[in-house]
Structure formats: C-alpha cells, structure tokens
Amino acid sequence: MGPQEIAFFIITGFKKHYSLFQEMTARIPSAFLSQQWATIEQISKLRISHYDQRVQETVDILKLHFPSNQINNHLWCQVKQVYIDLLVFHPQAELAETFYNSVFCHLFHHSYFKNDYIFVNSSQSTVSQLPVEAEYRSYFPVVEGLQKTIEKIISDTGLLSELYDFKQDIRLLQKAFFKQAPNTHHQHFKMRFDILKSPFYRNKSAYIVGRVVSCSGVQPFIIALLHNNQNKLKIDALITNASQMSLIFGFARAYFSVETRAPSAMVRFLNQLMPSKTVAELYNSIGFHKHGKTEFYRAFLLHQKSNNERFTIAPGTPGMVMLVFTLPTFPYVFKVIKDTFAPSKPFGKETVLARYQLVKNHDRVGRMADTLEYSNVVIPKNRIEPDLLTVIKEKIAQNIIEDDKFITIKHLYIERRITPLNLFIQNATDEQIDHVIQDYGNAIKEMLQVNIFPGDMLLKNFGVSRHNRVIFYDYDEVQYLTQMSFKALPKISLDDLYSGQATPSFAPNDVFPEQMCTFVLTNPKLKAVFERHHPELMTPIYWQKVQQDIRQHIIKHVYPYPQSQRFGHHNNKKGTL
C-alpha cells in the first residue's frame, strides 16, 4: 500500500465519520420538536462514542498492512504530505487532521508521535481560513423593519411555526433587548443581525446564537426556546450578559448538538462572541471533543515552551484514588489513578474508569467538570518538582514509563482547575460562605435531577469556578441515583445496647441523608447555613421523591441561566417541562 492509497483510505474513514456524525445531529431538531427526550439523550451518547468506533474501523484494516508497530519513516512522511494536499480546500480540515492523528497513534509506538509523522502542529496555519460568514446569515432591519426581521430570523431556524404566540414572544424579546443592551443603537436602520444558521440543541432547550452589529459596537446574544404546557414552543429568555453566555457554553455542561459544515468558521464566530473561551473549549462545546483535545494539547505544549515553570502537587486535600498535579500558571489539573487505593475505597481501577466515562456520557447540568482523557503523555523530568517526582514514583509507578530524561504517563485525565470548596471557605467572607454553601446544595440537587448520585459529598470534592459557581469534580464514587437506597437512621435505644441486641446491618448502597451534617458539614457555622437553605436534603423523603420522579420519567429542566432572565408569560408553575 503506497502513500496515496493510505492517505485516501484515512480521509475516506474521516468522511464516513463526519457524514454519520452529522446525520445523527440532524435527527435532533425533530426529536426536540416532538419532545422525544430519551431519543435526544441516546443520540448525544452515540455522538460521543462514534468517533472511536470509526477510528478503530480504519485502524483494523490498516493493521493488515502494518502488523508491526515499527514505522517506515520515508513512507509515512510521504503519507502525511499527500494528506496535507487533500486538506487544502477541505471544509473540516482541522478535524481530519485529528482523525489522522488518532489512526496513526493506534498503529505505532508513542515514540513516533512527532510532527514529522502526525499533526502535532496544524498544517492549516499556512492555509487561508474559511470565512466566518460560511456559518451565519446576516439580516438588515433597514429593509423590512425590526419586527419582520426578527420573524425572519426565527423562521429561518425552522422554529417559528412551532411558537405558541410568536407575536407576544417577539414583543418580549424586543423589550428585553432594549433593557439589557441600553448602549446599543436601537434604530432599526443602524443595526445588522448576524445569526448562526443552525440552532444549538441540548437537553430540553434550543438556542439561537448571534450578535447585533450597530453603530455603537457589537452585542452578542443567545435566545433560549423551550416547550410550554400546550406542547408548543416559547421564547424563554434572552441572554446578553457575557458571563451568562460563557456559562451556557461552560466546561461543566453537556455538549451541544448543532449542524455545521465548517466547524472552524463556527468556532471563530463563537470566539468573537465569547473571547474568554479557548478554542479547545468551543470545539468541545459543539460536540467535537476529540479535536478539542488536540487544540488543548497544542496550547499545553505552547505553554511549556513559553516558560520554565515546573509541575507541582495541586493545592487541596490529597485524594485517596487520584494523584493530582498542576502547573502554577496553567489553569488545569492533571489526574492519574493511583496504583492502590485507601481501604475505604472498595473498588479498583476499572470501576474508576467506568465512572469517569459515565460522567462523560451524561448530562452534566453545569455541575460536573468535563474531563479530557489522554494516553502516553511525555513530561521531561527536569520540569517536575522533586517532591512531585517522588510521589509519582511511589503512587503511580504502574502507570508510568521512566527513562533518564522523561516520565511517560500511560493514562491521565485533565480538568479545568478550580478552587477546592474547602480551601475557598477558609478565606471567604460570611456573604461568600452563604453563597457557596447554598450553591453547594443547589449543585447536589441539580445532579440528583439527572439521576447522578455524587457519592462522596465532602467539600474537598467540589470547587468554586471563576464565576463563583460550585462544581463537582471527583467521580470515583459516582453512581446512578436510582441504584441507591435512602433511609432514615435507625433508632437504637440504650436498652437495646445494654441488652446486647445486634445493631442493624447496612447494605453497601444504603445512604442516610441525616448524616450529611455529621460527616460533611462538621463546622457549626457551615451546618447552620446549609440547614437554612437546604433542610430537605437531610431527610430521606426528598431523595426518595427524586428517585420516584426519575423512575416515572418525570424529567425536570435545569436552567443554564438565572430564573430572573426568564420571560414571565406562559411559565410552567411546577418548573418542569
């Protein structure tokens, strides 16, 4: 098999992957309109696992021609060059590079993971970029007036006919925009709308994403649509606040489903709206998490080249399952499963891997940090603090390959670094403590709504993001809520103790919510705040009721924006959709 055949074979594998991925994505809008939530959940999970399946198909056939993991240097340099030529005008060139990398890395030893053979650096930096306009439409109110223009925008998404009262919705939308963006020139002849062609879908919501360009500047916005009690659509909120927009696209949420022909153009448009987001985060957010990993790793390599700082043990209470380390000025942590766990953790490595994958495939409702999973990460020893190097050799010896100059970590997770909640509280004001303990309870409740039981609810397993949002990040004890048994603490009298009667036996999945304050919130001040905001979480009745709702397929909607942003008309009083 020559270089052209190999290159064509890999690009054909990518074409099949992308075509099937988009076919799955295209099924989401009709499922959303008919409220087939289980179908949406199923497609979302398939989209996550789909990439690895397509890569493996390609690898399996190529292995027939390359049974050894020894590389033919000259051949694969030629293959890469042929592949680069195929990508010059390819609308998904950057994703095709990542697919190539994945195939190559499955075929050969990690010592060959060099830019000579794979795309450590993208070939696209020297190619003219696809125009951002490929992914959005522009609308000009000066032609037809503001109201007609808004109607046209929603009509082009295919959602206008599904609105219960579109005239009222449009009036509320205009009113909200005038209120939220008072510094924008509102004369219709002094503005232009740029709207991404395809709505973004996640869970029970659809989102229209765009910007208003006026004489006073650019105002990004997101329009959120939901179903009402009449099974029709309503515009639920307008979001123009940069922080709130960033949270909707946040790293603790499930990936959007959105159709795109030119992902790089869509990402650049989104980056213009949300410049605080990294390119990697935006690729992740629209479902291309494998390429998000590629972009992240390039940023990681660039960070290492730009300074001489060394890896060090991450701040916080050391975990019993994971070794966690970081780079001081790089806002991420690196997590490696330890060789052995503490006796209180009665499970092994395979269980931990499965639980992290469970979270990856699940709706994270803005409360569970996304994880990037890597294999064979090479770190120079001289970039590791001596204390950390000692711990690496002691705690994860089975997960590393060591030589004179490098440590290669066979498997690790990378997460956004946030301040551990227990450390945040140490230096927090009373007002800050009240906020984060209330939000800690909110985080637990929102995870329960999507059938996630966090397991270990100690404060050290939660963190506070830069948006002052409490997020869970330790998944080794995560289970489905419906697998647990919530009970009241048995009452044992002194007479029972004195009489020598046996104490009740407890099953592994028994949980006693009354013990939350006993073991988690031992500080009386924190306990008082928690009891004031969330007394129901300390009773088994609350947990049992959530379980019952899940079993009866009563799915509550967790809003990714404040309730105060919601429009007041046709609201569902029960808060479910």
Query: Which pLDDT value is given to residue 499?
Result: 58
At 458 the pLDDT is 94
Residue 225 contacts residue 234 (beta carbons within 8 Å): yes
Q: In the numeric block, which tokens belong to residue 442? A: 């909110």
Angular region, 511: left φ>0, alpha ψ -120 to 50, beta rest: beta
Other residues' Cβ atoms within 10 Å of the Cβ of residue 466 = 12
Say if residue 313 is exposed, middle or buried (CB neighbours under 10 Å; 0-12, 13-18, 19+): middle
Count of Cβ atoms closer than 10 Å to residue 12 Cβ? 11
In sequence order, what are the beta bridge partners of 377? 409
pLDDT of residue 508: 83
Question: What's the Cα-to-Cα distance from 289 to each of 49, 50, 93, 255, 471, rounded to whole Å?
Answer: 11, 11, 15, 8, 20
pLDDT of residue 10: 97
Q: Is the dihedral of CA 514, 520, 524, 526 positive or negative?
A: negative
Burial status of residue 171 (CB atoms within 10 A of its CB: 0-12, 13-18, 19 or more)? middle
Tell me, what's the pLDDT at 184?
A: 72
For 378, the token pair is 């090479």
What whole-number distance in Å separates Cα of residue 119 and Cα of residue 97?
6
Check residue 188 and give its pLDDT: 76
Calpha distance 257→26 (Å, rounded): 9
Tell which residue, 444, 441, 450, has the closest CA to residue 556: 450
Closest CA to 160 of 212, 208, 217: 208
What pLDDT is recorded for position 490?
81
Positions in the chain whose pLDDT score sits under 70? 185-186, 492-505, 569-577
Tell me how far apart the alpha carbons of residues 466 and 306 are, in angstroms, rounded to a whole number: 24
pLDDT of residue 555: 79
What secondary structure letter does DSSP report for 504?
A: P
Residues in the chain: 577
pLDDT of residue 519: 82
Residue (of 429, 446, 392) closest to 555 by Cα position: 446
51-77 tens-digit pLDDT: 999 999 999 999 988 887 778 899 999
The DSSP-derived string for 69-116 is S---HHHHHHHHHHHHHHTTT-TTHHHHHHHHHHHHHHHS-GGG-STT
Determine whether 370 is an active site residue. yes
> DSSP string spanning 389-458?
HHHHHHHSGGGEEE-SSEEEEEEEEEEE--EEHHHHHHT--HHHHHHHHHHHHHHHHHHHHTTEE-S---
Instruction: Determine the pLDDT at residue 178.
Output: 86
Q: Which of 194, 236, 363, 370 is catalytic?
A: 370
Other Cβ atoms less than 10 A from the Cβ of 262: the count is 20
Predicted confidence at residue 518, as pLDDT, reads: 78
